[in-house]
Amino acid sequence: MEILTQIFSLETLSSTLRMATPLAIAAIGGLYSERSGIINIALEGLMLAGAFIAVVVSYFTGIPWLGLLGALVFGGLFAMIHAVVSIKYHADQVVSGVAINMLAAGGTVFMLNIIFNTSGTSESVNALPYWGPFKPTVYIGLLVVFIAHYVLFKTPFGLRVRSVGEHPHAADSVGIDVEKIRYICVGISGILAGLAGAHLSLGVLDSFREGMTAGRGFIALAAMIFGKWTPFGALGASLLFGFSQAVQIRLQGLGIPTEFVQMIPYIFTIIALAGVIGKSTPPTAIGEPFEKGKR
Amino acid sequence: MGVDKIDIKELAIELLIPLLAIIFSFIIGAIIVYTFGYDPIETYAALLQGAFGNLNRFADTLLAATPLIFTGLAVAFAFRCGLFNIGGEGQLLVGGLAAAWVGTFDGLSVVVHVPLAVLAAAIAGAIWIAIPAVLKAFLGVHEVITTIMMNYIAYAMVAYLSLKVLANPGEIKTPPIEASAYLWRFSNILDIRSYMNLGFILALLVLLFIYYLLWKTTIGYEIRAVGINPDAAEYGGISAPKNIILAMLISGALAGLGGAERTLGLYHYYIQGFSPGYGFTGIAVALLGRNHPFGILLAGILFGALSNGRTFMNMAAGVPIDLVNIIQAIIIFFVAADLIFRQFIPNKSEGGVA
């Protein structure tokens, strides 16, 4: 009983929300991209780059809000590489995503060496202030989820995004610019992944550490899939995965190794994909380059 | 175009694209280096010297290439069946751990112990891809996502098994393996300090075997047929699910072998975090090698040279070692987006959309 009250304490619940924030934001980013038909396994790298740029801008300007803005802008620009390579040059989107992740991992440490003269942790910079119990990014994250739901399901733009992801040729035939929609969506995914990264480096911490996203981009991907490619689903999955991160230390006290708790998001996602608890199905046209006039 | 028909022009393009990708990536790397005030020529000279400067460094390059050849083959083999195994990293880790565990068995002779430990790694790698394989073959679940998920399950699993089950308390590595499980090192007969070992020779043999399997046997023909068009293959009496599972299990086993070389040949124990991402670099190796065993050998050695030469590059030219990762990533972009180059190649075939 005591352990249960510990697990569901106010402290764990608020830490769940903190842990879930970067997952939910990046998952929504992935959602825009994938709903438009572009696979985005680059969330990890985009987050890492965002986390880094946020710290660098805050370091040079002393203003964390500019760091946050920098992360958004750079995340969007960085994602454009994925967009151009995937959309214009029809590259395999998974391969492009792998390359983005590699470029981010190598590039951030390279620049860490150049700017901070270290391969480990950057200097401490001005971090985002608290707004009540949480950092601003937590509230922004929740807002992002609601906006995504509204945009994707209640606006003409959202309808276009979904139609481009399901039936690009049908969308094209009614005059929708398939490629333009996809560029916008991949750009949004980069902006949001950058925001998620800034939450880690300027919200949770006040510095950049090598590889500090530590797989959160892939947990976000898992949350997006587990949430069946819907904003509220992704939020729910992020909260669940965030909760499992928040309680793993306490569960260790019960004799459950942290490693097993760490596996939970990934095992859940495989089970969801297998259709054991209601099959998770990706958008139909996902991963296919769009070639006008073909088919 | 038929499965086996060799088109001279296509072959030339196949060779040209990786070459252009490498050249352009190194040019971009030079621009980056120059931008931050280093000398590109000095940088690349040091990189080259660090990778091939003497016999010892050359051996170290081949040592660094060995796991990449295995993971590159793993990715390419799955590709040939139309599948993307992005889980090479996890398969390599469980393979390495399995080999390290079997390696600690005592009282076995070398001729039994080495093959047994190597086999254990292959089996562990195959087991680690079995769930994605079955889900793909029977339910059509996309293997990219499931193999990524299996990577992260592997990270947690090997951390648990190596640190909390096999390792002595307080240690971050498993107990050393018995000498009977060591992969023989070239330093036994050559005057080198390198830990280059029989694993490289094993990689060459496996590479030849994969070539033979894919292009000279019915099994390989069926796997490639499914890779080109699963529906047509089924129509022709070839079972797609069977070949998908077979190709993925072999792919996983290949990545597992890469782990065996690390634990049996290089470290002689399993140490947490020993892989800097061999499984992911394997994707780059496979792509650059055009998913062909001989291409993979060359690409593996190139990437091995980059990873081996970077320390000397850092010492001699002062450039951060991570330049190498940036160049690797750019190479992948160029190879993946080969339309960038193809658009400049005149295409005479009718109605061809690049």
Distance CA B98, CA B119 (A): 9
**Which region among A60-74, B80-94, B136-150, B242-256 has the lowest average model confidence (pLDDT)?**
B136-150
More confidently predicted of A275 and A50: A50
Chain B residue with minimum CA distance to A226: B145
Cβ–Cβ < 8 Å for B265, B182: yes
Distance CA A187, CA A72 (A): 10
In CATH, the number for domain A2-274 is 1.10.3470
Quick check: B353 pLDDT over 60?
A: no
pLDDT digits (tens, 9 = 90+) for B258-311: 999 999 999 999 998 899 999 999 999 999 999 999 999 999 999 999 999 999
More confidently predicted of A284 and A137: A137
The complex's ipTM works out to 0.89
User: What pLDDT is stored for residue B3 in this prediction?
Assistant: 47
Quick check: B150 pLDDT over 80?
A: yes
Q: Which of A32, A72, A36, A52 is nearest to A193 (CA)?
A: A72
A contacts of B322 (beta carbons < 8 Å): 106-107, 109-110, 113, 119
CB contact under 8 Å between B332 and A99, yes or no, is: yes
Partner A contacted by B130 (CB < 8 A): no
Give the torsion sign (CA, A135, A138, A141, A145).
Answer: negative
Structural domains for chain B: 8-48+59-342 (1.10.3470)
Chain A residue with minimum CA distance to B286: A95
Q: Which of A94, A106, A273 comes nearest B325 by C-beta?
A: A106
Partner A contacted by B328 (CB < 8 A): yes
Partner A contacted by B20 (CB < 8 A): no
Quick check: B344 pLDDT over 70?
A: yes
User: What pLDDT is stored for residue A136 in this prediction?
Assistant: 92
SS (H, E, C) B29-81: HHHHHHHCCCCHHHHHHHHHHHHHCCHHHHHHHHHHHHHHHHHHHHHHHHHHC
How high is the mean pLDDT of chain A? 91
User: What pLDDT is stored for residue B354 in this prediction?
Assistant: 39
Give B189: exposed, middle or buried? Use CB within 10 Å, 0-12, 13-18, 19+: exposed
B contacts of A106 (beta carbons < 8 Å): 322-326, 328-329
User: What pLDDT is stored for residue A279 in this prediction?
Assistant: 61
User: What pLDDT is stored for residue A3 in this prediction?
Assistant: 65
**Which of A266, A290, A291 should one mutate to test binding to chain B, selecting the residue with the greatest count of B CBs within 10 A?**
A266
User: What pLDDT is stored for residue A294 in this prediction?
Assistant: 64
User: Rounded to the nearest 5 degrees, what angle is found at the Cα of A266, between the Cα atoms of B169 and A274?
Assistant: 135
Tell me the shortest Cα–Cα distance from B289 to chain A, in angstroms. Answer: 14
Partner A contacted by B333 (CB < 8 A): yes
pLDDT digits (tens, 9 = 90+) for A153-172: 999 999 999 999 999 999 99
Distance CA B67, CA B209 (A): 17
Give the torsion sign (CA, B81, B87, B91, B96).
Answer: positive
CB contact under 8 Å between B157 and A263, yes or no, is: yes
